[in-house]
Amino acid sequence: MTDSRAGIGRRRATTVGAAALAVVLGGAVASCGPEGAQGEERPGRAKLTFKDTPHTQYLRWYSEADRTELGPQNELFYVDLAATRLSPGTSPLSARNIKVTVDLSAVKTATYHTMSAENGCKASGHLVTCTPKNIGTGDSANLLLFQMTSRASAVKGQAEPVKITVSSANAPTIHHTTQLVHGAPRLTAPTETERTGVQPGSALELRPAFGNQGQLDVDDDLNVVVRVNGQATLRERYRNCRYDKAEAPTRAVCTFPGPLRAGAAYETAEPITAAIADTGRQGHFTYAVYRAQDTPASALLPASAPRGTAAPLALRPVDGAEFTGYSADQAVSGTIFRTTRTDDAQVNGFTLRGKVGKETSLDLMDVDGYYEGDTVLTLPEGISVAGSREGDVSEDLYCSYLDRKNRKVLCPSPRTTQPTLRFRIDKRVEGARGTISVQPDPVHADPDPSNNSAPIRVEYVD
């Protein structure tokens, strides 16, 4: 068959509004501009790749009655590019003078319009050419190019190729073909649940389920990406699942053969099990379902990742009428769990990843654990933090300085959403370390103060 509490999400919009160029560094939004903190950029060769550019893009199919009632329905077309070095090096380097050419000569049943001015997109005949900003090595860019609208002559299930060519002044030219398909599947999953009163040291079972309530079959395999955050690890087992570690894994990618027919729904015939730590207090056991060819790079594991040794995990049909619909790209679900060890305040360590001179944002709850209450960070040397800014929804959602001189930062207790840490790597300090800590409840005795703090590490991306 082909996370945060919302799981893994694709950066695709289906509205008529314009979307901005997003430059992504290690999965978090970063600024784009000239290289500065590490000196002048030296000449060199870069390499561009299509990161999460879809192999299949669906245009939802509308009947004549739908078109009369709803009017034209627009979809956004984008490419997702990543830049790396073609050869080793440490000096600043960007893929320069990028040109994206989209050949739409084979597209007869859709119009393309509303070119992205920010990415320098212009249409001429059946070609759209765009000149986006340079992309630094180690960065990626999700580029909105234009909007598309199905014609009335479109037939449900009809596919047309869109050919994309990307060139650069200092990177080899690359090519990609996206199949534009009229009509769309709609992946679904059960509503997320919550379990309380779980015993520390016990096993928690999760049986991933998903369906397709869309217009078309999914003619692809499906990947189910399972994660556990907090005080628990996965038990390695099934042969069709790869795991991020041979011992105590926290992520698995399980592949099931397609197709997934429209109207069908399945669940795994056996559960996936998480082992909760003896001192575990809480966590998040989640899964996301993707079409195999268009699974985001951040969700995948390398081919060399260890596999389970037991029989493959199978699927069995279920009634998916009550499942929640997501999109043609993904569906997510899972369970939040809380153990009986409610008085044990605890935090998990995490790693700050980024490039020197760049600002990055991350949602603290989703980094490497599950937090409640205010947390205090002692930043590693060479790191600074920016708090809330004008236009932010609320200053209560951002970590800010308690004591700038001693690099102390307060991250507020999660309420409707997790706190955001905006940090900048000002300089490289090898071996730099910090800490995250949480204060115990003054009313209830903490049975294990040793897990009230944990290390913060830094990983520099060249």
The dihedral through the CA atoms of 292, 288, 8, 149 has a sign that is positive
CATH class label, 350-460: mainly beta
Residues 319, 325, 331, CA angle at the centre, nearest 5°?
A: 95
Q: Tens-digit pLDDT profile for the chain (462 aa)?
A: 433 333 333 333 333 333 332 333 333 333 333 343 444 555 689 999 999 999 999 998 888 887 777 777 889 999 999 999 998 777 789 999 999 999 999 999 999 999 999 999 999 999 999 999 999 998 999 999 999 999 988 999 999 999 999 999 999 999 999 999 999 999 999 999 999 999 999 999 999 999 999 999 999 999 999 999 878 999 989 999 999 999 999 999 999 999 999 999 999 999 999 999 998 888 889 999 999 999 999 999 999 999 999 999 999 999 999 999 899 999 999 999 989 988 888 888 889 998 888 888 887 765 445 566 788 999 999 999 987 776 666 656 888 999 999 999 998 876 556 778 899 999 999 999 999 998 877 888 888 888 889 999 999 987
What CATH number belongs to 187-339?
A: 2.60.40
Angstrom CA distances, 352 to 213, 299, 462, stand at 39, 19, 14
- Specify the 3-state DSSP secondary structure of 321: coil
Question: Could you tell me the two tokens for 150?
Answer: 């199905």
What residue segments make up the domains of the chain, in order of their start?
22-182, 187-339, 350-460
Largest CA distance in the chain: 72
What 8-state DSSP symbol labels residue 248? S
- In this prediction, residue 38 carries a pLDDT of 42
- How many residues belong to the chain? 462
Which CATH number does the domain 22-182 belong to among 2.60.40.10, 3.30.870.10, 3.30.450.90, 3.40.50.2030? 2.60.40.10
Cα(275)–Cα(3) distance, rounded to whole angstroms?
19
- Specify the 3-state DSSP secondary structure of 449: helix
Cα(44)–Cα(257) distance, rounded to whole angstroms?
43
pTM equals 0.79
Q: Could you give phi then psi for residue 64, rounded to 5 degrees?
A: -60, -40
Residues 161, 221, 267, CA angle at the centre, nearest 5°?
A: 140
Cα(235)–Cα(250) distance, rounded to whole angstroms?
9
As separate numbers, helices (DSSP H) first and strands (DSSP E) second, the chain gives: 2, 37
Same-fold call for 22-182 versus 187-339: yes
Cα(102)–Cα(25) distance, rounded to whole angstroms?
25
Q: Could you give phi then psi for residue 172, rounded to 5 degrees?
A: -60, 150
158 residue type, one letter: Q
